[in-house]
């Protein structure tokens, strides 16, 4: 699973509240692997986590849109 797949999923669901568990289930990954992907994305400031909910940052959304075009 690539980091971009995680960003695309979160960007599509930006209006929804998504937990790490929800994300892991949707992507078919174990939670620990999902956490590792999110850690890398957090380090690059492409996602943020607030009160247990994961969401793309504005930079993350912009990156997904650039790759889509």
Residues 8-24, mean pLDDT to the nearest whole number: 85
pLDDT above 70 covers what percent of the chain?
99
Q: Which residue has the tokens 């690539």?
A: 2
CATH of domain 3-68: 1.10.10.10
Give the C-alpha separation, 19 to 62, whole Å.
21
Query: Cβ(20)–Cβ(53) under 8 Å?
Result: no
43 HSE (CA, 13 A, CB side): 7
Q: Where do the structural domains in the chain lie, given as residue ranges?
A: 3-68
Q: What's this model's pTM, rounded to 2 decimal places? A: 0.81
User: Angle, nearest 10°, between helix axes 20-27 and 31-43?
Assistant: 110
Query: Closest Cα to residue 46, out of 24, 68, 65?
Result: 65
- The yes-or-no verdict on residue 21 having pLDDT over 90 is yes
Mean pLDDT of 32-61: 90
Structure tokens at 45: 């400031």
């Amino acid at each position: 699973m690539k980091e971009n797949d995680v960003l695309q999923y979160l960007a599509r669901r930006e209006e929804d509240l998504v937990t790490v568990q929800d994300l892991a289930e949707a992507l078919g990954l174990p939670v620990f692997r999902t956490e590792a992907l999110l850690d890398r994305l957090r380090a690059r400031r492409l996602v943020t986590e607030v009160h247990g909910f994961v969401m793309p940052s504005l930079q993350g959304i912009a990156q997904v849109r650039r790759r889509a075009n």
